[in-house]
Amino acid sequence: MHWYEKLNQYFPIEEMKSREHMETLLKERSEIYYKDESPDHVLMYVELDNFVFIDYLFVSKKTRGQGLGHKLLGKLKRKGKPIILEVEPINYDDSDSEKRMRFYKREGFEHAKSIGFKRRSLATKEINEMEILFWAPNNESEEMIFEAMKKTYDMIHTYRAQHFYGESYQPVEEVLTFNQESKNENLSDNL
């Protein structure tokens, strides 16, 4: 099965980029947008000087629980940069969402409580809310993660959207928010 079909069957429609969008990113943004695949996984990610953003990580059902996801994340962690990703909030009717959160927590990822992400899906027209998770090898701040997310949104998520979808996504200021109070609450929780 083609790598795009694997992703398309696993991820909800509101989270998927079109095949043309992703293939164009691989070609026109090849210095920062990468694909790592095998018969059992597909990893799409962005690497810039100061962070890595995981766009999609798929591990086949038959190999889940065998350490492949851990190995793939380990490869990215060895780069020594913060790793950022978006995940759908836990849906207790969907055991995959719970397992996914537990997996990332075991891998040392934290929930960016001060960062909000709400975007209108061009496919469904519904507001899609995501949670931002990050792994910070050098205790990078949520402000740094927020700036990295804004850069990713502008460089990757909205790249040539008008061309691919016939309309543009909302501007980054409407999609990503930073709540300083949530950050301060996190600090006092950790003390």
The pLDDT tens digits for 65-111 are 899 999 999 999 999 999 999 998 877 666 677 888 999 999 999 99
pLDDT of residue 97: 73
pLDDT confidence band for 180 (50 / 70 / 90): confident
Distance CA 188, CA 167 (A): 43
Q: Reduced to 3 states, what is the DSSP secondary structure of residue 89?
A: coil
Count of CB atoms within 10 A of residue 32's CB?
A: 15
Residue 75 CB burial class (10 angstroms; 0-12, 13-18, ≥19) = exposed
Answer whether 69's CB lies under 8 Å from 164's CB.
Answer: no
Render pLDDT for 125-134 as a digit per residue (tens, 0 to 9): 999 999 999 9
Q: What pLDDT shows up at residue 65? A: 87
Q: What structural domains and CATH numbers belong to the chain?
A: 3-190 (3.40.630.30)
- Residue 191, pLDDT > 50, answer no
Range with the poorest average pLDDT among 8-22, 99-113, 151-165, 176-190: 176-190
67: left (phi over 0), alpha (psi -120 to 50) or beta: left
What would the mean pLDDT of 53-72 be, rounded to a whole number? Answer: 95
* C-alpha to C-alpha distance for 45 and 135, rounded to whole angstroms: 14
| Of the candidates 177, 52, 173, 186, the residue with the CA atom closest to the CA atom of residue 111 | 186
**Secondary structure of residue 139 in the 3-state scheme:** coil
Per-residue pLDDT for 179 more than 50? Answer: yes
Task: Report the mean per-residue pLDDT for the chain.
Answer: 92
- Given a cut of 90, whether residue 45 has pLDDT beyond it is yes
Asked if 55 and 46 count as a contact pair (C-beta separation under 8 A), the reply is yes
Kindly provide the b/e burial profile for residues 121-133, where b requires at least 16 CB atoms within 10 angstroms of the residue's own CB: ebeeeeebebbbb
Identify whether the C-beta of residue 57 lies closer than 8 Å to the C-beta of residue 69.
yes
Q: Does the structure show a pLDDT above 60 at 187?
A: no
